[in-house]
Structure 1
Amino acid sequence: MDKSRFSLLLLEPGEVYFEDFSCTLSDNDSLMEGKARQGRLKLCSKSLVFEPRDWALPLVKLYFKDCTSISIVKSKLFDQTSNIIKVKMKLYAEMLEENILAPYKFKYENKDFFILFDFASAEECLSQMEQLQRASTLHAPEHNSMVATILHSRYMRMVFDPVMMDDFTEEIMCELQAEKISPLVRHQGKLALTPTTIYFQPFSNVESSPILKLKLCDLRRMYRRRFLLRQVGLELYSLEESSVPHIYLTFQCEDDRERIYNILEESPNVHLEKVHAEEMTLQWQNGVVSNYDYLMYLNCLADRSKNDLTQYPVFPWVVADYTSEILDLSKVETFRDLSKPMGALNPDRLEKLKERYYEMSEPKFLYGSHYSAPGLVLFYLVRKYPQYMLCLQNGRFDHPDRMFNSVKDVYNNCLRNMSDFKELVPEFYDTECKGDFLVNKYEIDFGERHDGSRVNNVALPPWADSPEDFVSKLRQALESEYVSRHLHLWIDLIFGYKQRGEEAVKANNVFHHVCYEGAVDLERVYDMNDRHALEVQIMEFGQIPKQLFTKPHVRKVGHQIAKPLSCPDQEAVSYEVECLDTITLHKEAVTCALKQGKRIISVGKDGTLKVYDLEQRKQIRSIILCSTPLSSCVMIDDNTVAAGSWDNEIYLYDVEYGKKVESFRAHDDSVSCLLWLQKERLLISGGSDGVVRVWGNVGRAGQALRGLKAEFDHDGNITTIAYRRRRHEIDIISGTSDGEVFIWSLSARELVNKICVHDAPVSGASVVLTGDRVVTASEDGVMRVTDLSVSHSVYQKKFPEALAALCWAGRGTLWLGGGSGALRQWDMVTVAQQAELQAHGDSINSIYFDDSTKTLITASNDKTVKVWQLAPNS
């Protein structure tokens, strides 16, 4: 026999396997050669399992609760006490006869089994068996407690074997009791952590290897996990080619888990791939990450794992049409309403559920069953994992009429049945597995339905030619434009702000209180009966995912996955940067610079405005506009510059004729920033007086003050101004020294929104990609992307230096100027830094992008202006 047929899935969920013995089993004490079977006896906490060597013979399971007596007997062959134990049973089960996966055969008959041990002492085995038989007569909580005591005693005797290590001289930094988790199975053992390796040594010999080794240098991702509502789990992912690419461990307490987590996180040998939730959200929003991958990522963040059936990843029903010949993804009627939970899709059923809800005493619940639980997961996957269903249901499959027989029937049942609200599992959208869960590939006899038909493959809708085609079309639906536009609403229900509290009540999304994280602290439930009842309820009923978002989730902007975004202007370009010219004209810091044709215009703290000719490579204009620093400048036509000053004035200067045209008092304190809207011919100024003003007659001599169109008051100093267009509307976006961002409607002259974005003054702002998002930088080195449709940040990046300037260059590219002179190029589609250059010797105060010549102009505190040529990387 090359491989054992025994597995922990042949035991009840939670049952402990202790050890096994070489023996002979017979139904008479003579152990005659003809009837005796050689094999191995597995000693488990609730049963004895005999595995014969002959694969044609069934495994025999002897339940301790159905055992009437266990004793040592004399053999008829020898007139003395021998190494034989007699087990009297009133019920036993046979499994895997002819090695065929099928429901267990339960034999309701009195029968004696005689076990002759080859090497072990029958007396020692008898003592252990009698102890476990006594435990089987107790109620479940007392039984579990007694088994835990036995397990702990064995654990204390178990010593981690350093001989199994790669290098037995390795220092063991930490040694703990742990469990390796797989679906429905908890495998006890010892975990040892050295500076280079994680070792897991199982208590028993079921694992294919006597010790599992996970190299720290191969470790790529690790997640804290909530297991049965307790924060004791740790899931580790390594390189695919490593000997242990994945392991899910649980510990005795949260402190043990945290100890291991912290050691791994701080280890110099561990190099984790860090993907921040905000970064992934922004990539999904940009269309870089597919809906399927994003949902898998959210499930992972919310403690959902394929190794834990109580917290299996949950996916939505998205298609509502299972009767048409062709699946038309252009019709709204094809799709399920993603803004509602499954239980609220049928108004008539919802009304009845709400009637019951209002009559309940607290804590109330609307739905008496969950959208994801072990039984519901295996309902879908029984053909793929029949052994899981046999384990969960004590050797039986569901009644043939209650099985997953037809996609259409299941969807209709989820719409109409008063206790069926289940969502889907990832396998419905996993094109790599080709819909194998829909096929009875093991040719299992699941029985006959009421109409005489045998349960076989799942009946598919007319629009699906095969299981592979069915899953492929469902995946197309999941990635479709309709779902992409509405998926954030379903995320709000399952992972977001509509998951609990008043918003959940409003959304008709209330489940039993026990299944919510934090509702029950098992550590504080000291009564064994109460604790066991809660654990069973958690196991059978299901758990709400960990809440990931407390505000409305952002909606997706682009749904095309083949390329980052469908709009050509939004495909980010990576540039090579070459310095064409360094201009040193100012005596003090340069505060702002721009390019107009072949000219570079700059202003500085020395109060002067300089004009530099790029072709002649020399200064052609220089004027002292005022005795105070100049803060900013914009071109209001081909030859006229507007400059803002610390003396509260705005100066207009004609570059062609080299003269000051006009100046006017714009603010009651320094003018800090300027913005020119060419189409509307509006000059917008921000001041340290906390006011933004909009000027309409700029350029007409003496008319500027009369052309004041609007003014907007703020609490803090204005530090930056940007704008966005919404069809025919214009919004002015202002950043302040308080870290706040204001959105003003120019036409309505009123505040649209105020968002507290930063903890430090905002140093730059720009609308990016679509008008729904604004990227801001602050003096404490934080860059944030804020979604204006939901009024909160979707991404944050902390830099090691202050950020003094930013410039949106289109095509997904953002330039950031640092306080130490670093110039950074960011791809805002994939949300990743493309390049970093030490451009200046001091803070970069302004960045200007000239699209026609693909040049970048930077101005710095080091008194220089630099001109950079951008060349797209091939």
Structure 2
Amino acid sequence: MSFLENDTASKERFNLLLLDPGEIYFEDYSVFYYPSGLPEHEAIKRKQRGHLKICSKSVVFVPKESQYPILKFPLRYVTEVDEWSGGLFSKIDHKDKMIKVACKQTVAMKEKNILSPYVFIKEPSEHIFSLNYVVVDDCLPQICQLHRASTLPHTEQNAMINAIVLSRRSRVKFNTSWLEDLYENIVLETQGDRITPLVTNPGRIMLTNKILYFQPFNNIESIPVIKIRLKDINRLIKRRFLLRQIGIEIFCKDGSPCTHLYLSLSSPELRNDLFFKMKEQSDLDLELPGQEDMTLRWQSGNISNYEYLMYLNSLADRSFSDLTQYPVMPWIISDYSSSHLDLNDSSVFRDLSKPIGALNEERIEKTRERYREMPEPKFLYGSHYSTPGYVLFYLARIAPEYVLCLQNGKFDQPDRMFNSLLDTWQNCLEGAADFKELIPEFYSPDHPDFLYNKGVTNFGIRQDGKPIGDVDLPPWACSPEDFKQSLRMALESDYVSSHLHHWIDLIFGYKQRGEEAEKADNVFYYMTYEGAVDLDSISDPNERARMEIQIMEFGQTPKQLFKTQHPQKFQQPCPQSIVQCTQEPKERNSPTPENSDDMLSTDTDEDQTHSTTTVFDMQELNNLELFHQYTLHKDSVTDLCLARDGRNIFSVSQDSFLKMYSLEEQRQLRSVNVSSMALSSCQLLPDNLTIVVGSWDNNVYFYSIEFGRILETLIAHDDAVSDVFWINKILFTSSWDSTVKMWSFTPPSPSNPFVPAQFVGQLDHESGVNCQCIDSNCQILVTGSKEGQIVIWDIRSMYQLTEHNLHSSKVNAVTLSHDNKRILSSGEDCYLKVLDIETGTEIFVKDLQDQIMCFMWCGDLLLTGSNSGELQVWDMDRGQVVVKKSLHLDAITCIDIGNNTIVTGGQDKVISLWKL
């Protein structure tokens, strides 16, 4: 979306772009204008009907007939403004109706309604106006007050204008006759500004329980009051405006009368008040922002690189409505001279690990030398990669009026305009002060017209005698449409996908600031960074004005989104139509690859359970049906496991019993009172004859199915055992005593009698360990604590690798992804999160408003059991629930899978079997 899509103001002959940036338009009066420098009879004959616009820094006459130019009288050049009297015999002297404006410089604009550079008439002149419907006293005092302000120094002038604006605002109330419904309840009324590119228009904001209203203080809008029905709003975003958190951007559904509105308020408190009061209204039904899963979806290939970059721009307060924070996109291609673009050739791509300013080694070395000799605060680049001027440099052909507004009524020199892709790229590589990146229009599928000159605007003649025409494209592009398509293909290419995270680190991430920015040659002037300047704390008006100009003209660095390295995109998304479910013994860890080596011994994987495979057709998941239910326990079921032949289910409970249930006979085969306290976890070992059970009595029990007795009681911990897991002859036991212990244990067999477990090592934590997960290669252990920490351990060295505070309270469950690169966790705080291990980035964060108590991988699907008793099937590549089944009356606490069967146990004491 370009800001020009919703641009209606510039289509009107008079609009706020004709004023200085930030200038306020107050009101207008119907007048006749008598052209200056003519005899009276001739002036009467040529009088022009029109409107006199009173603005904070100028008076503007807009003739009704478009053949005449709009005349602007900057107040700083006005020498006199007063009531005019033509003398005794004057035929144009209307008592109390005449105003004279004497000016040293007049600006003529849009003659014959042709947009061209303004004409500055630098000679004294007098201009006579007769008021049609009011008298002199109705408008002259206001003009004189503004004229007096123009004679003051810049900061004092702005202070006086602000006082005038505040005075007018205090006198203007919202006109309640514009309310659409007598039964609307007024929720909030306040003052605010409507923000559009280069323009700020003050007005009155009214929020009711049904509609948001904006009433401008002037009549510049095509409708007197902008109305947005709350039910039409689908996105509501807080924004940073001029480095202050005072903006709010509103997006509406397609087909809404008003599709977009950007407002700024006077303080963060007022902005937040409006934001939260809007969210409290029942009519407001916002789309889920999707922010919690966008990185995961991008990594998995479910959204494009373009979509992800646009998402990051929005998250970093970049908006099409604010040219100082326009969305920024990277240069991708470095070859603009070849006749053919080969996207399989890595040499045609720009190095995304370096900022634009560091791509040329000779230039960056000179820049570093200057940086080393510079006093604090140091910076490498005096200009920025995104400024209003750079945005309009690219868009001049479709936004010429914005260019004239920004550049004081002038176009740039023809040879300095955006004439050639090759020349622009070369200048970005070699220019002493040119470090600009690109904008979304280069990659969006629509709007190739910014590369065309449709001949409506005359931008001038270049030194080679050619007029400014279309942008010169590289030889490999036959048209602007073909050029944009090639750029988009390059942006989505494998090379860019595998390197784009480096550019994200520079623009939005950990290389944006501090020591890492210095290492990456990515240091800009300190005032471009969020938080570097607190404008509200600056009392000196001169200093504040200087900083506001710096912010407006020299660019702003996006909000920093990532403090650690951004994860890399996966090369290929996982298949979506069919997924394979691999059953491991008590598989709460990641799915097993083909080869998994024991990192603590030289044993092969023959001691591990041989997996069986169940194929789930995605289209058949909704046919998941309840097959059987039974209740054997007298308290909550805490864990269960399904025998590999699918005939028996083993379960443990807080009632301290281990139960064995036959699915064929549908009856209980064993009931063992293992302990005097609750049992927490169980696992059937590969011999199919031994079950390991953890208990709240601090012990681990080894129960023989064959002999029907407990083979060993292992006094394992000083507090309750929360989980047991065996893999590759190593038993891992976690406990509320803040430890995980490792034990060497080989399951008994006819040739190997039972040998008690031997202690191997201990991993100390700062709080009780509630859950654990081991990767299939037995290299990494992940634990979840009772205080919300996720800790990652190297099993061989028994060394803690990293710790992450992912949850605000107890971690209910953890597991690893297929490739062991991501950790998925759920917590008592109702959040489901995915952590990228390499970078420490939370790539998926979702508040479910309900706890996930347990989960288990099934190929690319994740089965979860919720606190409300709902079995959910998640497609984690998309971060979406694809199936929901409810039968348990209380929390689902455990899940196991095998032989086209899903088994769940709950706090309602029930065990349920689900079949496809």
TM-score by length of 1: 0.91
SS of the aligned residue for 1:631 comes to strand
In terms of mean alpha carbon deviation, does 224-233 or 734-743 score higher?
Answer: 734-743
Which residue identity lines up with residue 400 of structure 1 in the other structure? P
Match of 1:674 among 724, 728, 731: 724
C-alpha distance in 2, partners of 1:43/1:17?
Answer: 6
1:486 aligns with 2:536: no
Q: Which amino acid aligns with 2:469?
A: N
SS at match of 1:358: helix
How far off its partner does 1:565 sit?
10
1:716 deviates by 4.5
Aligned counterparts of 1:320 and 1:770: Cα–Cα separation in 2: 34
Does the 8 A contact of 1:559 with 1:565 survive in 2? no
Deviates more, 1:666-675 or 1:301-310: 666-675
> Is the Cα contact below 8 Å between 1:172 and 1:192 reproduced in 2?
yes
1:154-208 alpha-carbon deviations (Å, 9 max, x no partner): 3333232222221356443332222111111111222222222121111221111
Q: Are 1:244 and 2:258 counterparts?
A: yes
Tell me the distance in 1 between the aligned counterparts of 2:829 and 2:45: 84
Deviations 1:808-850 (A, max 9, x none): 22223331342x5343333322223345444333443311122
1:460 to 469, 473, 479: 473
Structure 1 residue aligned with 2:63: 52
Alignment partner of 1:496 is 2:504 = no
Instruction: Determine if the alignment matches structure 1 residue 332 to structure 2 residue 346.
Output: yes
**Corresponding position: 1:857 with 2:857:** no
Query: Aligned AA for 1:218?
Result: D
Q: After TM superposition, give the deviation of residue 389 of structure 1 in Å.
A: 0.2
Q: Report the counterpart of residue 17 of structure 1 in structure 2.
A: 25
Distance 2:193 2:402 in 1: 19
Which of 161, 168, 185 lines up with 1:154 in the alignment? 168
Q: Distance in 1 between matches of 2:42 and 2:401?
A: 32
Contact residue 744 and residue 751 of structure 1 kept, 8 A:
yes
Matched, 1:866 2:866: no
Residues 484-525 of structure 1 show CA distances to partners (whole Å, capped at 9, x for unaligned) of 222222222222222222222222221111122222222222
Find the aligned partners of 2:764 and 2:145 in 1 and give their Cα distance: 80
Q: More displaced, 705-714 or 526-535?
A: 705-714
Matched with 2:637 is 590
- Equivalence for 1:260: 274
Q: Following the alignment from structure 1 to structure 2, what is the Cα–Cα distance between the partners of residues 513 and 524?
A: 17
Using the alignment, how far apart are the partners of 1:666 and 1:473 within structure 2?
67
In the alignment, the residues of structure 2 paired with residue 524 and residue 572 of structure 1 have an alpha-carbon distance, to the nearest angstrom, of 58
Q: Deviations over 1:72-103 (max 9, x none)?
A: 13175439664333333333222222222211
The amino acid of 1:261's aligned partner reads: F
Q: 1:776 and 2:776 equivalent?
A: no
- In 2, the alpha carbon distance for the partners of 1:621 and 1:427 equals 69
**Match of residue 775, structure 2, among 711, 720, 724:** 724
- Structure 1: give runs of 5+ residues left out of the alignment: none
- For each residue in 1:129-166, what CA deviation from the matched residue of structure 2 results, as whole angstroms up to 9, or x when unmatched? 33333322322222222222222333333232222221
Native 8 Å contact 2:730 2:742 kept in 1: no
1:812 and 2:861 matched? yes
Alpha-carbon offset, residue 295 of structure 1: 1.6
1:228 partnered with 2:242: yes
State the shift of 1:118 in Å.
Answer: 2.1
Greater shift, 632-641 or 397-406, is seen at 632-641
Kept in 1, the 8 Å contact 2:527–2:551? The answer is: yes
Give the deviation of 1:42 after TM superposition: 1.7
Contact 2:498-2:568 at 8 Å conserved across structures: yes
Matched, 1:88 2:102: yes
Q: Go from structure 1 to structure 2 and tell me whether the alpha carbon gap of 1:518 and 1:756 turns closer, same or farther (over 3 Å shift).
A: closer
- Paired AA for residue 723 in structure 2: C
Residues 406-461 of structure 1: per-residue CA shift (max 9 Å, x gap): 1121112112112111111111111122x221111253221122222222111111
Local SS of the residue matching 2:624: strand
Q: Which residue of 1 aligns with 2:614?
A: none
Q: What is the CA–CA distance in structure 2 between the aligned matches of 1:367 and 1:759, rounded to whole Å?
A: 41
State the one-letter code of the partner of 2:538. Answer: V
Residues 598-617 of structure 1: pairs in structure 2 closer than 5 A: 598-605=646-653, 606-617=655-666
1:754 Cα deviation after fit:
3.6
Alignment of 1:459-858 (within 5 A): 459-558=472-571, 575-596=622-643, 597-605=645-653, 606-623=655-672, 629-637=678-686, 639-646=688-695, 655=705, 657=706, 659-660=708-709, 662-663=711-712, 665=714, 667-668=716-717, 671-677=721-727, 680=728, 683-687=731-735, 690-695=739-744, 697-700=746-749, 701-702=752-753, 704-705=755-756, 712-725=763-776, 730-747=779-796, 750-800=799-849, 802-818=851-867, 820-850=868-898, 852-853=899-900, 855-858=901-904
* Contact 1:479-1:559 at 8 Å conserved across structures: no
**Distance across 2 between alignment mates of 1:763 and 1:154:** 58
Distance (Å, rounded) in 1 between the aligned partners of 2:633 and 2:675? 14
Alpha-carbon distance, 1:335 to partner:
1.9
Identity %: 41
**Cα distance, 1:866 vs structure 2:** 1.3
Q: Secondary structure at the match of 1:329?
A: coil
Provide the residue aligned with 2:435 in structure 1: 421
- Name the CA shift for 1:507/1:195 in 2 (closer, same or farther; >3 Å): same
Residues of 2 paired with 1:228 and 1:649: CA distance? 62
Matches within 5 A, 1:374-393: 374-393=388-407
Q: 1:705 to 1:715 in 2, by over 3 A?
A: farther
User: Helix, strand or coil for the counterpart of 2:85?
Assistant: strand
Q: CA deviation at 1:607?
A: 4.9
Q: Give the counterpart letter for 1:600 in structure 2.
A: N
The offset of 1:554, in angstroms, is: 2.5
Q: Distance in 2 between matches of 1:79 and 1:723?
A: 95
Distance 1:766 1:405, change over 3 A: same
In structure 2, the CA distance between the partners of 1:36 and 1:104, relative to structure 1 (3 Å rule), is: same
Residues 549-599 of structure 1, C-alpha deviation per residue, up to 9 Å, x if partnerless? 2222232235669x8799999997754432111122334443322222232
* Amino acid of the structure 2 residue aligned with 1:758: H
Matched residue of 1:278: which SS? coil
User: Are the counterparts in 2 of residues 755 and 792 from structure 1 also a CA contact under 8 Å?
Assistant: no
Select which of 289, 293, 297 maps to 1:279: 293
Distance 1:250 1:703, change over 3 A: same
How far did 1:623 drift?
A: 4.7
Preserved CA contact (<8 Å) 2:741 2:760: no
Secondary structure at the counterpart of residue 809 of structure 2: coil
Distance in 1 (CA, whole Å) between partners of 2:858 and 2:685 is 20
- TM-score, length of structure 2 as denominator length: 0.87
Query: Which moved further from structure 2: 605-614 or 421-430?
Result: 605-614
Question: d(CA) in 2 for partners of 1:262 and 1:481?
Answer: 42
Q: After the TM superposition, which of the residue ranges 403-412 and 660-669 deviates more from structure 2?
A: 660-669
Taking a change above 3 Å as real, the CA distance of residues 233 and 675 of structure 1, as seen in their structure-2 partners, is same
Change (3 A) 1:378 1:567: farther
